[in-house]
Structure 1
Amino acid sequence: MSKRLLITNVRAVLPDRILDPGWVSVEEGRIAAVGSGTMRKGTRSSTLDGDGAYLLPGLVDIHCDAVEKEVEPRPGVLFPVELACREIERKFAASGIVTIFHSISFSAGEGVRSNELAAEIARQISGMGEGPHLINNLVHLRYEISNDDGLELVKTLLNEGCADLLSLMDHTPGQGQYRTVEQYYQYARKTYHLDELECASLVAQKVEARKNIKVEDLRMLADLAAQRGICIASHDDDTPERVEEMRALGVTLAEFPVNLITAQHARALGMHVCVGAPNLLRGGSHENNLSAREALQRGGAGILCSDYHPPSLLHAVFSLAADGFGLPPAVRLATLHPAAATGLAACLGSIETGKRADLIMVKLIRGCPVVFTVLSGGRAVARYGYNGAPALAEDITWL
């Protein structure tokens, strides 16, 4: 029998407007109809009363490396990969993120530090959709272009179908995100708890490895990704010239450009540009690079991601809305735009008929957005009943 659900009494946030009150009908995991006003329950539908909550598309996060910290919360302290992936999935759902590109670094000394461990994480995530799961778990392979030892492994993962997004990174000190060696030293000390000798060794290794980068290797990876319809991203571009180089390789998405002129140049070329929600919430970059808020206000970016802090994405959306950006435009930055950048907009990223019913119910508590219900493919995968808040309606029973 067909599974039908009527979501009513909500403020439905569509791409261009809010239906208040509004309703959404779900059938077989997809949005069957959307309307304004109230709608009475049909004889063959279950009802979910939103009690005036905002109904948003499930957030689409194209860059978050939180899974690495779940595997290795402290340097050298490792947890089983499957345990870590299952636990981080619940945390993403609680943050309203229903499609996550888990960002896994092949960085030869950074991230989880081991190419083999990074590959194990990627394969675990890639297979999660074959069994019980809560949300859409996708793989963002982050390849440090000086990591020659990881090249064949990244190529293998692409061939295995264990990648949904590929980014090309260069964290060599003296350019990009780390304009000086001292900036990189500070990052390595606080992130990986390295001493001075270890920092010096890592810097020397990266500088030397960069001399051996072969453009033909990067082109090979880019071509392989393109053949499989995988979006290719650049990372920490610092000049318009660097953007041009990346664009020539087939890059269509620029992550975290370090200054406004570079971000605007990427946009002028028709590229998608992504900035971090933590940057926006904290009022600036922790590395003193481009302000996310300035980039969005001046046309230098069109996508928000959680970067390293999943809760920031929803909070950044409502922060922008409160500052006059408008809620539908702010929501698009974390839903429809990232979906479009990664080729998913035809099936998710907005409340529109025919799309997956990936939906979240959000209420403001003292101005703070709080997730109450998460639907993934029309299925309620998480519901939260807060003490001091009205009780949740009875559990949904499908008819």
Structure 2
Amino acid sequence: MLVIYSDKIVQNDAVISGYIHIADGKIQKIDEKSSLKDYIDMTGKYILPGLINIKSEHISRENQIKLNSRFPFAKIFREVEIKYASAGITTLFHSIPLVNGRYREDFTTGPKMAKDIKELSKRSNLIDHRIHMAFQLGFIQSMDKIKEMLESNLLDYISYSGYCRSEEERYREIYYEDYIQRVMGLSEATCKRMVERVRELRSESNLEELAYMLKYAHYKGVKVGTSELSVIKKLEFLEQQGINIIENPSLEEALNLDSGSDKMIMMDILSLSKQLNKTYQDQVVSAIRTGHIDILSSDMRAHDILAFVFQLAQDLGLEKAVSLVTSNPATALKLKDRGQIKESLRADLIVVDILDEVPVVEMTISNGKIVYRANY
């Protein structure tokens, strides 16, 4: 039995003091007193639920570095794992692009990486590894590959974006626009509208298959996100219900979305930090307070999550700020066994101290085991 005490245990609705009793990977009970004399005393330090990052591109980008091709994939996996454990992240969704960014026809790199992560995640690890596969509309092979991976139970979360043109396609469009203007004698404005309409049709061409995919993902218990608000509006009502998370809208778009819907809005910390003026940051706080931003994530910078949360806590309160990276993502992805410090839930906890006005992770407990500890 592992027992840890703190006078700053952060729950969803309060900050309490108590002894957290942990056994068999779960929180057994939280008491005001403990009969055990052997416990870890963290008086004055915060205990938070383990953080959940549902969109990290870190492992994908590391895999693209030429030097890393010399080593086994497990090297990247372990390096990323250690970094995120030290940042207090106990559940990490590796965001993998279905299509290789360098080679648009490459539908093998992404699925292979997903398989490698799945195999490595079955071993003894510091944190819980999940797979988030991101795909673009407009590729015929996309739906087949996603369905194949869903059938193999490889995926934990999928998200789609609109069709993104390559440089070659952009040049083709410019050439085509110039060609029809000369041959058909149409105005430049008309030709631009024609090319834009072709682009829209290309993006919408997979709508029926996408609707089917949403139903199949739901059947397999895999949640779906999107950054493509225009496509959502074109789906039938029932298919719209299959979308759980809106990814990285602009702040203006987020404020215009219905805060009472069952879709949660996720924003990347970096995108919320591009404008540091007080007016913009006040809008960010207001958007969170009114339910227009529900989840925070970080593509690459693991340690920024905790720092950002503690900054937000100055305006929102610690309980509300912490929920953006714990209970809210757990709710969105139906991770019912984590996201809060409650009896019977998975024992994913972090101990946070404030040093030089910066929150630092002193201890990470994942599935009931101490997997990281720093002695400051």
Do they fold alike, i.e. is TM over 0.5?
A: yes
Q: Who is 2:23 aligned against?
A: 27
Q: Which residue of 1 aligns with 2:349?
A: 359
Aligned to 1:230: 222
Residue among 114, 119, 124 paired with 1:122: 114
What is the alpha-carbon root mean square deviation over aligned residues? 3.4
- TM-score relative to the length of structure 1: 0.78
Higher helix share: 2
**Percent pairwise identity:** 26
Q: Which amino acid in 2 is paired with 1:24?
A: I
AA partner of residue 237 (structure 1): L
Unpaired runs of 5+ residues, structure 2, are: 175-197
Number of the residue aligned with 2:179? none
Cα distance change, pair 267–334 in 1 and its aligned pair in 2 (3 A): same
What residue is the counterpart of 2:12 in the other structure? 15
Number of matched pairs? 351
CA distance in 1, matches of 2:173, 2:80: 31
Residue 39 of structure 2 corresponds to residue 42 of structure 1: no
1:55 is aligned to 47
Residue 375 of structure 2 corresponds to residue 381 of structure 1: no
Equivalent AA in structure 2 for residue 7 of structure 1: I
TM-superposed CA distance for 1:358, in Å, is 0.2
Q: Deviations over 1:189-235 (max 9, x none)?
A: xxxxxxxx66846988x959935722222123212211111111111
Aligned pair in 2 of structure 1 residues 259, 339: CA closer, same or farther (>3 Å)? same
Aligned counterparts of 1:42 and 1:278: Cα–Cα separation in 2: 44
Q: CA deviation at 1:152?
A: 1.8
Pair 18,111 (structure 1): closer, same or farther in 2 beyond 3 Å: farther
- Distance of aligned partners of 1:315 and 1:244 in 2 relative to their CA distance in 1, 3 Å threshold: farther
Which residue identity lines up with residue 368 of structure 1 in the other structure? V
TM-score (norm: length of structure 2): 0.82
Q: 1:344-383 CA deviation, whole Å, 9 max, x = no partner?
A: 1x21000001101100001111111101100001100111
Look up the match of 1:343. Answer: 334
Report the 3-state secondary structure (helix = DSSP H, G, I; strand = E; otherwise coil) of the residue aligned with 1:374: strand
23-32 vs 215-224, which deviates more?
Answer: 215-224
The counterpart of 1:166, out of the listed 158, 183, 195, is 158
Unaligned runs of 5+ in 1: 174-187, 189-196, 387-399
The answer as to whether partners of 2:21 and 2:30 remain within 8 angstroms in 1 is: yes
Within 5 A, what are the aligned runs for 1:43-192? 46-73=38-65, 80-107=72-99, 109=101, 114-172=106-164
Report Cα offsets for 1:309-352 as digits up to 9, x if no partner: 22221111101012x210011111100000000001x2100000
Aligned partners of 1:145 and 1:170 also within 8 Å: yes
Correspondence for 1:5: 2
Q: Which residue of 2 aligns with 1:329?
A: 320
Whether the 8 Å CA contact 2:269–2:305 is kept in 1: the answer is yes
Matches of 1:246 and 1:140, distance apart in 2: 23
Shift of 1:143: 1.3
Tell me which structure has the larger Cα radius of gyration. 2
The aligned amino acid for 1:6 is: V
Q: How far apart in 2 are the matches of 1:269 and 1:27? A: 38
Instruction: Give the whole-Å Cα distance in 1 for the aligned partners of 2:124 and 2:308.
Output: 30
State the Cα distance separating 1:101 from its structure 2 match.
1.1
